[in-house]
Amino acid sequence: MTQRTVPSTVPVGPRADAHRSSGPRAGSDDPDPNTTTAPPALADRTATGLLHQRILLLDRELEQDNGAQLCAQLVLLAAEDPSRDITLLINSPGGLVPAMLAIGDLMDVIPCDVRTVALGMAYSAGQYLLTHGAPGKRFILTHGRVLMHQGSAGFGGSAADIELQAEDLRRGRDLLIDITAERTGQSR
């Protein structure tokens, strides 16, 4: 009987959790013994290599930490050479609206163009960032998927609190729809 080897997975990008195991397999309580991940040093070298090529990577849910890191990297690269494009690769299920708006606002004010590329998925915040790429420099790879959906939130509290939260959600939704329509030249 021939033994099959399973290729190891190598995370790409500046992920804080890149050195951790992927965890248990579906339907199993035991971790997959065939899954290995790259050591943190390799993930750091990969992220550094991409940064030197002016490529940024959003490869997970957008949160405050990686949102702040992407903002810092945009500023760094724009200061380094304001005439060269920056590429933002997006493979994200979405994330926090404040982090998304901060990155989008920075993309608008830095002097260089930001080329955006959807690989895999650009959902919610990923879709928003994709549309913030420079006109004519927004791309979706062949099997990439883009999804814009209704906002969601975990409401709680009194009826008055829930009403305020719902109104805030509506305002945020309308803002994102208006910005996306403006950036893409589409009607609301």
Q: Taking all residues of the chain, what is their mean pLDDT, rounded to a whole number?
A: 79
Catalytic residue among 22, 124, 132, 187: 124
- The pLDDT of residue 35 is 55
Active site residue 187: no
pLDDT tens by residue, 80-91: 999 999 999 999
The confidence band for 20, taking pLDDT boundaries of 50, 70 and 90, is very low
The catalytically annotated residue of 149, 152, 158, 187 is 149
pLDDT of residue 188: 76
Q: Which is more confidently placed, 10 or 180?
A: 180
Residue-level pLDDT at 126? 95
- For residue 97, pLDDT over 80 is answered with yes
Sketch the domain layout of the chain as residue ranges.
54-149, 152-188
Question: 54-149 architecture in CATH?
Answer: Alpha-Beta Complex (3.90)
SS (H, E, C) the chain: CCCCCCCCCCCCCCCCCCCCCCCECCCCCCECCCCCCCCHHHHHHHHHHHHHCCEEEECCCECHHHHHHHHHHHHHHHHHCCCCCEEEEEEECCECHHHHHHHHHHHHHCCCCEEEEEEEEEECHHHHHHHCCCCCCEEECCCCEEECCCCCCCCCCCHHHHHHHHHHHHHHHHHHHHHHHHHHCCCC
pLDDT digits (tens, 9 = 90+) for 39-73: 667 777 888 899 999 999 999 999 999 999 999 99
Instruction: Give the lowest-confidence range in 95-99, 108-112, 117-121, 181-185.
Output: 181-185
Q: Is 158 a catalytic residue?
A: no
Query: pLDDT (tens digit, 9 = 90+) per residue, 129-173?
Result: 999 999 999 999 999 999 887 666 666 778 887 788 778 778 877
